[in-house]
Amino acid sequence: MFAAYVTVTIVAAVFTGSAAVTYLIGHDYPKAQLDMKRLPRSWGPVLGMLLAAGSLGLLAGFAVPLLGALAAAGLVLYFVGAFVAHLRVGSRQLVGPAVFFVVSVAALALNLSYHGPW
């Protein structure tokens, strides 16, 4: 159980951390995604910071399990919002948000099952 918890948490942190970097450096892909979803480009750095905070929170969860659970829950909510944003504009490109969502849910579930809910 411990190996699964550590592995999935690290994978989730790497996924969300790399997405955060693309938002924060101003890469073209996040800008295109914001345009496609009809969101202001000024939201890019904010979304990048949310992803970065989630990624760092997952890693901090190894020392403070409650922080890791809260970070994973925040990422789950973030990616629910990503699904809503895609569906709002009629986009059917849901594989990306689905992968991130599933990894975040797995990190949350494994954190809670390994450490307990409180």
Instruction: Report the number of distinct structural domains present in the chain.
Output: 1
Backbone angles phi, psi at 93, to 5 degrees: -85, 75
pTM strictly above 0.95: no
Domain range spanning residue 98? 2-115
Per-residue pLDDT reduced to its tens digit, 61-104: 999 999 999 999 999 999 999 999 999 999 888 998 999 999 99
